[in-house]
Amino acid sequence: MRKSGLLNPELARVITAMGHTDTLVVADAGLPIPESVERIDLALLPGVPGFIQTTQAILAELQVESALVAEEIKAKNPKALAGLSKLLGNIPLAFVPHEEFKALTRDAACVARTGECSPYANVILVAGVIF
In angstroms, the CA 32 to CA 99 distance is: 11
Catalytic residue among 5, 7, 9, 20: 20
Q: Phi and psi of 59, rounded to 5°?
A: -60, -25
Residue 40 near residue 13 (C-beta atoms within 8 A): no
Residue 49, preceding peptide bond in cis (omega within 30° of 0): yes
* 98 is annotated as an active-site residue: no
Active site residues: 20
